[in-house]
Structure 1
Amino acid sequence: MDPWLLFIPACLALNLTPGPDIFFVLSQAFSERRYAGLWAALGLGLSYLGHTLLAVIGLSALIMQSATAFMVIKYLGAAYLLYLGWNSLRSASAMTLPQAQNSGSIGRIFYRGLMVGLLNPKVALFFLAFLPQFIRQESGAVPLQLLTLGLVFTLTATLCNGAYGLLGQRLKRALQGRTRASVMMNRLSGAIMMALGVRLIM
C-alpha cells in the first residue's frame, strides 16, 4: 500500500481531534482580539517545522551510523504510538473548553504559539515516533522522505488549527454539550495511533 494513502488520513484525523494545541488555539480565539486564533495556529505551525527539521537531522544521522539502530527507533516509536492511542481511548471524555485569555498583540500571540510548540517535549517525541513509520527504503533518500512527511504534517496541522482558530466563536457554542461527538473523536484518534503501532509490529 502507498504510505501516503495512510499518512494523509492519519494526519487529518489526528490534527482534527481536540487536544492541547487545539485547546490553546481556542483559548486565543475566544479572546477579544480578531484572528487571534489564526495567529496562534501559525505560531504552532512554525514550531512543528522546527520539530520536523530536528527529527530529520537526528534520524538521518542515526541512519548513517546504524540501520539497526534506526529499526530500534521505529519499534520504540510504534510502542509509543500504542501508548498514546491507549491513553486516548482510556481518557475519551467530553471536551472541556478553555477560558478566553487576554491575548495581547498579534506578535505576542504568534510568539506564544511558537513557544508552546517548541517547548513541548511530547511534540518532539511524537515526531520521532510518527514520521519513521512511513519511511520506505525503496522510496529514495530517507532524509528527503522524512522532510516531506514532516512538511505535509506541518501543513495539515496548521490548516486544521487555523480552521479551529477562525471558527472559535462558533465552535464555543457548537461544541458545548456535545459529549458524544468529543468522545468519538478521541476514540478515533486513539484507534488510529494504535493501528499504526500494530501495523509496524505485525
Structure 2
Amino acid sequence: MGIELMSYLPEIILVSVIAVFMSISPGADFVMVTRNSIFHNRKAGLYSALGVSLAIWVHVAYSIAGLAIVISNSVVLFSIIKYFGAAYLIYIGWKTLRSGTDIDISETKDKKTLSNFSAFKVGFITNVLNPKTTLFFLSIFTQVVNPETPIILQLIYGAIISLAHLVWFSSVAVFLTHPALLKRFNDYKTTIERMVGAVLIGFGLKVASTSNS
C-alpha cells in the first residue's frame, strides 16, 4: 500500500496545489462569504463557508461517478449549470443592492439576520451552481486524476479540496468580522453594499456570457 501510495504522490501534490489556488482565487464564493460576514455576522460567514465546503462534495460525487466527462462533452448540461448559476448570482446581487442591511458591529447584538441554515444554504447553492468550480473539477478529474486512481484516493482528493475551502473561507469570515474592520465598514455601508451587489450581478452576467468552448 505504501509503494502504491508513493506512485500517486505527484498526483496528490498536484491536486493539493490546485485545491489551494482553487479556494483562494477570487470569485462568487468569496464575494458571497464576504457579503454574509459583513452585512450579517461572523456566524453567518462561517456557516456560508461550511456550505461552500460541503458543496464541494457534490462536484466530487459527479466527478467520481464519471459525469465530469459527460458534462465536459455536453454543451447543454454545462449551459444549464452556467445559466442557473448566473441567475442565482444576479438574484442575490439585486437583493443586496436593495437590502439596506445595517452592518452588525457586535456579535452579541440582537437583530434580524440570516439564520444558520439560510447562511449555509447560500454558500452551498453558490458553490454548487458555480461554473468556475465545475470547470476546476472537470479539469482535475479529466486531466489530472488518472482513471486508474483508486476510489478511496479520489475521495481523499475531495476531502483535501473541501478542507482547503473550509479553512480559507472560515479565515475570510473571521478576518472580515474583526470589530475594528466592521466599524470601518459601517462608515461606508451604503457604498460597500452597492459594490458587493454590483460585483455579484457582474459575476452573474460574466458567467452567462462565457463561452462553453
Pick the TM interval, shorter chain: 0.5 to 0.7
User: Are the structure 2 counterparts of residues 12 and 156 from structure 1 closer, same or farther at C-alpha, using a change threshold of 3 Å?
Assistant: farther
The answer on 1:182 being equivalent to 2:199 is: no
C-alpha spacing 1:53/1:14, structure 2 compared with 1 (3 Å): same
Q: State how far apart, in whole Å, the 2-side matches of 1:12 and 1:177 are.
A: 22
The whole-number CA distance in structure 2 between the counterparts of 1:153 and 1:189 is 19
The 3 A distance-change label for structure 1 pair 22 and 180 is closer
* TM-score in terms of structure 1 length: 0.60
Q: Is the 8 A contact 2:34 2:173 kept in 1?
A: no
- Check if 1:51 corresponds to 2:49: no
Candidates 139, 145, 159, aligned match of 1:140: 145
- Pick one of 183, 186, 210 that aligns with 1:199: 210
TM-score by length of structure 2 reads 0.57
Deviations 1:91-127 (A, max 9, x none): 4247512666758xxxxxxxx85x5555x2x443322
Q: Identify which range, 3-12 or 156-165, moves more after superposition.
A: 3-12
Written as runs of structure 1 = structure 2, the 5 A alignment for 1:48-87 is 48-61=52-65, 63=67, 67=70, 71=74, 72-87=76-91
- Structure 2 alignment gaps of length 5 or more: 1-17, 110-114, 148-153
CA contact (8 A) 1:88 1:189 kept: yes
On the 8 A contact 2:29/2:127 being kept in 1, the answer is no
Listed as ranges, the matches of 1:83-98 within 5 Å are 83-91=87-95, 92-93=97-98, 95-97=100-102
Query: Deviation at 1:57?
Result: 2.0
Matched, 1:124 2:124: yes
SS across alignment from 2:35: coil
Q: Percent identity?
A: 11
RMSD, aligned CA: 4.2
Structure 1: gaps (5+ residues): 27-36, 104-111
1:8 partnered with 2:25:
yes
Shift of 1:76: 1.7
Q: CA deviation at 1:10?
A: 1.7
Q: Contact 1:11–1:156 (CA<8 Å) still a contact in 2? A: no
User: Residue type matched to 1:14 in 2?
Assistant: V
Partner of residue 154, structure 1 = 166
CA distance in 1, matches of 2:24, 2:52: 16
Q: 2:195 & 2:51 partners in 1: Cα distance?
A: 28
Using a 3 Å threshold, how does the CA distance of structure 1 residues 148 and 6 change in structure 2: closer, same or farther? closer
Question: Paired residues, what number?
Answer: 175
Cα deviation, residue 132, structure 1? 0.8
List 4+ stretches of structure 1 deviating above 6 A. Answer: none
- Tell me the alpha carbon deviations over residues 52-110 of structure 1, each in whole angstroms, 9 at most, x when there is no partner: 2244224532617x71598454322210222123324544247512666758xxxxxxx
